[in-house]
């Protein structure tokens, strides 16, 4: 009978995906690259939710349901963000986030 993997490596994987997403959001100048970073962050949090749902019996169903809600929210967020990016591209003919400065104070 194998002991399986401990909880800790899953959490480290989630933290790695989260960090990659944050760096992606910070460094990409393409608006869609920023969106890809957000997806990475949400995936890191989802790995945490599902890992805790396996390793904490009191949290089994909740972890999976929260992960499902996060997936649905990510789908809606991607749809709206891409609509905004398309609109921005229609107005500015670029998706460089540095050129979005009308609201700069």
Partner 1 sequence: MFDAEMFMFWLIASLTGLCAIATVITQNIVRSATWLLFTLAGTSSIFFLLGADFVGAIQLLIYVGGTMVLVVFGVMLTAQGPFVNMRTSGAEWAISIVAGLMLLGVLCFGLTSFQKLPTGEALAKANEAHSKQRKANDPKTSTHASTIGQALSGVGYGPIYKRMPPLLPTKDAKGNLVTLPGAPRETERIHYLLPFEIVSVHLLVVLIGAAYLARAKRRRGGKA
Residues between 43 and 72 that touch partner 1 (CB under 8 A): 43, 46-47, 50-51, 53-55, 57, 60-61, 63-65, 67-69, 71-72
CB atoms within 10 A of CB 46: 20
We find the least distance from the C-beta atom of residue 102 to partner 1, in angstroms, to be 16
Nearest to 35 by CA among 76, 67, 81: 81
Asked whether position 95 contacts partner 1 by CB under 8 A, the answer is yes
Cβ distance to partner 1 smaller for residue 30 or 100: 30
| Cα–Cα distance for residue pair 94/92, rounded to 1 Å | 5
We find the least distance from the C-beta atom of residue 105 to partner 1, in angstroms, to be 23
Residue 95, token pair as written in the block = 């998706």
The contact mask relative to partner 1 for 10-49 (x = CB under 8 A, - = no) is: xxxx-xxxxxxxxxx-xxxxxxxx-xxx-xx--x--xx--
| Cα–Cα distance for residue pair 98/56, rounded to 1 Å | 44
């Amino acid at each position: 009978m194998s002991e399986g993997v401990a909880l800790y490596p899953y959490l480290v994987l989630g933290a790695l995906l989260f960090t990659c997403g944050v760096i992606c959001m910070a460094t990409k100048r393409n608006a869609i690259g920023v969106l890809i970073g957000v997806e990475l962050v949400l995936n890191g949090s989802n790995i945490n939710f599902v890992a805790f749902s396996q390793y904490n019996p009191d949290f089994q169903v909740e972890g999976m349901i929260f992960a499902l809600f996060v997936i649905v929210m990510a789908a809606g967020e991607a749809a709206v963000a891409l609509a905004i990016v398309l609109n921005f591209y229609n107005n500015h003919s670029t998706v460089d986030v540095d050129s979005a400065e009308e609201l700069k104070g």
